[in-house]
Structure 1
């Protein structure tokens, strides 16, 4: 059902937009290599946006499921490790130094460099420590990245540059091209494979660290499950944040929605979480395009508006269950 949802929403995303085009004619022109207006709109504007929605949403959903399973913390999400904050800091630094004027690649490459730098610092801080050390180090790194980002915003000399930074930090898929897709794709594939490879270890960890170690899973150290999860999250999420900006709550909401349907087994949740994240972000991106506010609503703002009430509702349900 989730896969059908991804396919259906992808087709709807390609067919529907601000400018009305005959989709069948545009698709025929695109496949034939003819540069008609419809082919340009579908092939160069809507298709990259749709592909990025699938990759970014899927990555956020998958990384949220992996981190919640590893840390055994229902509030864990990609931002908890500081990788998203590092990517945002790298991109903001590109704005501040004016490297945006040099090349269109400067912004996503700066964000990716910031994410990888944050991951390297995180691995160095954690060393052979366990999940608690990882959680504390990630929280400290995330706070530091947020403070440095605020410092850059405070020192930026141009009000226009400050506006551009804030606009990017709210997250969006508008005006993305295939250049952004190719920048994002390698990190998503490599990081996703690393996270998926930890599925059996997550099942064992659900029974406790002692049980997981007795089953032969190495939990700490350079070649451990923890390192694979950190590097996988850094590569995948860092690549996504570098091209889309910060989009929150997807990694929190999707695993919670799908966990009961996966039988509460962490390894069975991973692929559905990827598909569920893709469905959520494809749907949210279509809503963003449908809302007529003069200025297009930022995608990260919409996901936050949806995600926060969801968790308030979860708190109310849990409270009633306890009482």
Structure 2
């Protein structure tokens, strides 16, 4: 509790500022695009008085897209913060345990074998199932070891295996159109998302967030090492189970509706960490809010950049993420 109190005393405006950014990002996502919608038209449509075109754009196109962006960004930001604290590694993110690649492999399999054509839920369902399957494989490889190095090495093996499966599907793709569809999905996007995507992602992301927010104090204790955390009464086996389940379920649900979007889970914790007391628990909620705002703003930028076809969100987050991360690497490297 002491660390949280210090964090609040030093930066009392951090959470209100992030909440404000999330609200602004959501409103920008509703109002900006190929057809700008001023606040008056949005308010009229929300009250049921707007024209049919405005209601269609707002409720059928932009509202689901905004909600998906906020959910996916929140999940990726929180997962990155938790994994950096749990693994005691500033470079950790969801892909470190193979969660992102494994979920992407399931989605690619749905496209490759044509399951995605059967039902809209087939692709997300298979992505989540492969994410959970990767979790089981990760447990099998890591065994009873609680060392973060063992989990990282096992995660690299799982991620590499999933990446090889994705490459194999591209290599054996029966026609160039299937390969193009797979490649397009892997670039990451939340374009043309519907309320059905929201209903698919929401339960998984909500469950993942709930599991990951439980162990803030355990993450602080792990800063003392495994022996120190055990001496404080934490069951590290249960902590690991909750962390891995939260990442697998939450990130699986996020990747299932957005494709592969990198760097959010890596850079957001580094952006908010200097504004806290640097304890793992103090960056969890700020990282969740910051991830939601950053990904949604990036999606708004995608719509506003004048191109013949809309840029993919994963490409934009990579271009935004690399320079931001390098700047913070140079500025903060002595403090890690």
Kept in 2: contact 1:195–1:232 (CA 8 A):
yes
Aligned residue for 1:157, secondary structure, equals coil
User: For residues 132 and 26 of structure 1, what CA distance do their matches in structure 2 show?
Assistant: 50
Task: Report what 2:32 is aligned to.
Answer: 16
Moved over 6 A (4+): none
Task: Report what 1:70 is aligned to.
Answer: 86
Following superposition, the deviation at residue 318 of structure 1 comes to 5.7
Q: Give the stretch that moved more between structures: 25-34 or 210-219.
A: 25-34
1:109-258 residue pairs with structure 2 within 5 A?
A: 109-130=125-146, 131-220=148-237, 224-258=238-272
TM-score, scaled to structure 1: 0.94
Choose which of 77, 80, 86 in structure 2 pairs with 1:61.
77
Following superposition, the deviation at residue 26 of structure 1 comes to 4.5
Structure 1 portions without partners, runs of 5+: none
User: For residues 268 and 60 of structure 1, what CA distance do their matches in structure 2 show?
Assistant: 17
Could you list the per-position Cα deviations for residues 149-201 of structure 1 after superposition, in whole angstroms to 9, with x for gaps in the alignment? 10011001010110010000010010000100010001111111110001010
Question: How large is the Cα RMSD of the aligned pairs?
Answer: 1.7
Task: Report what 2:289 is aligned to.
Answer: 275
User: For residues 207 and 22 of structure 1, what CA distance do their matches in structure 2 show?
Assistant: 52
Task: Report what 2:11 is aligned to.
Answer: none
Choose which of 300, 309, 313 in structure 1 pairs with 2:323.
309
Kept in 2: contact 1:66–1:266 (CA 8 A):
yes
Aligned residue for 2:236, secondary structure, equals coil
Choose which of 280, 285, 290 in structure 1 pairs with 2:299.
285
Kept in 2: contact 1:123–1:230 (CA 8 A):
no
Structure 2 portions without partners, runs of 5+: 1-16
Task: Report what 1:5 is aligned to.
Answer: 21
User: For residues 33 and 132 of structure 1, what CA distance do their matches in structure 2 show?
Assistant: 58
Q: Give the stretch that moved more between structures: 43-52 or 105-114.
A: 105-114
Could you list the per-position Cα deviations for residues 122-145 of structure 1 after superposition, in whole angstroms to 9, with x for gaps in the alignment? 123223111221111111000000
Task: Report what 1:38 is aligned to.
Answer: 54
Q: Give the stretch that moved more between structures: 23-32 or 239-248.
A: 23-32
User: For residues 105 and 34 of structure 1, what CA distance do their matches in structure 2 show?
Assistant: 32
User: For residues 332 and 223 of structure 2, what CA distance do their matches in structure 1 show?
Assistant: 21
Could you list the per-position Cα deviations for residues 230-256 of structure 1 after superposition, in whole angstroms to 9, with x for gaps in the alignment? 000111111000000000000110001
